[in-house]
């Protein structure tokens, strides 16, 4: 496992850990940077995979051509100096020339990349042209024997030069005898100069392509990121409950279509939110609990609930003196007050019926909560009426009827229009109690009160006859006016 040293400390580096960190860092980048990095990686990979084989092939072809040319030059030079070297070794048949002259002619020719040329005879005599390379070139006896042992054209290379050797041979009794060696040495950088130029051209071309592409990607990604940012902000608005806005699609591509669909979704949410205001929260809660599955008319469950009715007293006479718009505004003031209090005590407004409210207290200490809500409503209505009277505004008084018992919570209506509400005898009784309640009065059936330790003072009233019951219903009035709010 590799290590990294920082000061006197050494840390182990886990390759999977490093890869994981790089991936996480990449994920945290902006989209435009991700696109740029991906594109640069693709371009560089494409250049490497497509250009490198071509360059390698070109280099091989170039080296083959250089080797063929060098073989020809070395062979010719070998022929040109053969007789001269033979004369130097035997002392006969003076050819009328010298090795220096042949090497000089070669060194002055336009052979690309040629550094120098030399001859080495069997006795170890070395001649180099140009003369400037003579000081850097020397052969010991071992090297001389090695070169004299060459039987054919040979190439040797290092990081700087490529040297080609060709033996100078004569035949004796049909067998070739090496009497010397000619060598031509080329600068490797000069030979590979076309390859280097091609590499440089590819590099500059790739750099320009990457630069232009990255700029283009930044421009395009800016448009994309702006649209995504707009959608992200819109989602946050929806999360915070703000549906009063609309996205403006910046294009007709997938992001533009997404913005259009998002606007449609927000529109549907607004419509749904508005529709929920016209549906009881009990119905909404029931639909949510069932996950929006299809409802059946026969569905219903028996529960103990408390039913609350409130009604405005003498509303008909008041309404005759007001315009319709004034009536709506006036009744809504009192409906708003009652709704706030009912929901405060975990009640649910089931429906508004003209100037009447029907509410249900379905959980917890139902009757206790309904009584507390009724008392607070009457107290707040009294305070509100006092304030409105001081302003010479119309006031309303409310009577309240409450009953507790078993009822059926279920779907009522038709297949295409239904409501989730409570039905049963206790509903009828609560409605009847509300109808006889005078202004500021709270009337409750006496029987449910006996089962609870009521902290409210009550007054027995005359029993009433309810249609459908054979025996009178015992009722009582909740006394609350002796509190400080009504002093």
Helices (H), 91-192: 99-107, 141-148, 188-191
CB atoms within 10 A of CB 44: 12
The rounded percent of the chain whose pLDDT value lies above 90 is 18
| Alpha carbons 211 and 374: distance in angstroms, whole number | 75
pLDDT for 484 beyond 50? no
- Burial class of residue 199 (count of CB atoms within 10 Å of its CB; 0-12, 13-18, 19+): middle
pLDDT of res. 242: 78
Q: For residue 473, give Cα distances in angstroms to 207, 218, 310, 448, 476.
A: 96, 81, 19, 11, 10
pLDDT of res. 485: 39
Residue pair 177/37 in contact by the 8 Å Cβ criterion: no
**Strand locations in 343-384, DSSP E?**
348-353, 356-361
| Alpha carbons 421 and 300: distance in angstroms, whole number | 10
pLDDT for 432 beyond 60? yes
pLDDT for 359 beyond 80? yes
0.85 surpassed by pTM: no
pLDDT digits (tens, 9 = 90+) for 81-101: 887 777 777 765 555 677 788
225: Cβ contacts below 8 Å, ≥ 6 apart: 30, 31, 32
pLDDT for 325 beyond 80? yes
Domains present along the chain, CATH in parentheses: 76-191 (3.30.450.20), 195-275 (no CATH), 297-486 (3.30.70.1230)
* Segment among 68-77, 374-383, 425-434 with least mean pLDDT: 68-77
| Alpha carbons 359 and 153: distance in angstroms, whole number | 111
pLDDT of res. 13: 58
Instruction: Please give the average per-residue pLDDT across 379-405, as a whole number.
Output: 93
pLDDT digits (tens, 9 = 90+) for 370-383: 999 999 999 999 99
pLDDT digits (tens, 9 = 90+) for 246-283: 777 777 777 778 888 888 888 877 766 666 555 555 55
- Burial class of residue 280 (count of CB atoms within 10 Å of its CB; 0-12, 13-18, 19+): buried
pLDDT-based confidence at residue 453 (cuts at 50, 70, 90): low
pLDDT of res. 112: 78
- Computed over every residue of the chain, the mean pLDDT equals 79
* Segment among 211-220, 310-319, 390-399 with least mean pLDDT: 211-220
pLDDT of res. 404: 92
């Amino acid at each position: 496992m590799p290590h990294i040293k920082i000061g006197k400390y050494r840390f182990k580096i886990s390759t999977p850990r490093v890869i994981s960190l790089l991936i996480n860092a990449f994920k945290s980048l902006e989209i435009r940077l991700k696109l740029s990095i991906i594109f640069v990686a693709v371009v560089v990979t494409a250049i490497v995979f497509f250009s490198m084989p071509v360059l390698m092939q070109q280099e091989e072809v170039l080296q083959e051509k250089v080797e063929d040319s060098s073989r020809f030059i070395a062979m010719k030079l070998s022929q040109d100096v053969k007789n001269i070297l033979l004369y130097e070794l035997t002392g006969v048949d003076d050819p009328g020339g010298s090795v220096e002259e042949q090497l000089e002619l070669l060194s002055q020719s336009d052979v690309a990349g040629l550094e120098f040329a030399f001859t080495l005879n069997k006795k170890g005599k070395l001649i180099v042209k140009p003369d400037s390379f003579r000081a850097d070139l020397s052969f010991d006896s071992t090297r001389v024997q090695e070169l004299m042992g060459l039987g054919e054209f040979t190439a040797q290379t290092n990081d700087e030069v490529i040297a080609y050797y060709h033996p100078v041979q004569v035949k004796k009794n049909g067998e070739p005898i090496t009497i010397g060696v000619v060598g031509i040495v080329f600068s490797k950088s000069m030979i590979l100069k076309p390859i280097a130029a091609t590499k440089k051209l590819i590099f500059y071309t790739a750099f320009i392509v990457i630069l232009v592409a990255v700029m283009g990607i930044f421009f395009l990604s800016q448009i994309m990121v702006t649209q995504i940012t707009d959608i992200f902000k819109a989602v946050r608005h929806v999360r915070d409950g703000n549906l009063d806005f609309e996205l403006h699609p910046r294009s007709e591509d997938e992001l533009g279509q997404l913005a259009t669909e998002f606007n449609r979704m927000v529109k549907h949410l607004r419509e749904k939110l508005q529709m929920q205001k016209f549906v009881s929260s009990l119905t909404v809660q029931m639909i949510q609990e069932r996950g929006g599955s299809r409802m059946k008319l026969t569905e219903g469950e028996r529960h103990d609930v408390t039913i609350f009715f409130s009604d405005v007293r003498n509303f008909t006479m008041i309404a005759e003196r007001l315009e319709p718009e004034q009536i709506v505004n006036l009744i809504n003031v009192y409906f708003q007050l009652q709704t706030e209090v009912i929901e405060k005590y975990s009640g649910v407004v089931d429906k508004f019926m003209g100037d009447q409210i029907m509410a249900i207290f379905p959980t917890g200490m139902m009757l206790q909560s309904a009584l507390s809500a009724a008392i607070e409503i009457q107290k707040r209505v009294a305070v509100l009426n006092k304030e409105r009277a001081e302003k010479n505004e119309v006031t309303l008084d409310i009577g309240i009827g409450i009953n507790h018992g078993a009822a059926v919570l279920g779907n009522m209506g038709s297949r295409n229009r239904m409501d989730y509400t409570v039905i049963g005898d206790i509903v009828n009784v609560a409605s009847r109690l509300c109808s006889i309640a005078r202004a500021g009065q709270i009337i409750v059936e006496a029987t449910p009160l006996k089962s609870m330790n009521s902290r409210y003072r009550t007054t027995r009233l005359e029993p009433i006859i309810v249609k459908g019951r054979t025996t009178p219903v015992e009722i009582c009035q909740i006394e609350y006016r002796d509190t400080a709010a009504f002093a």
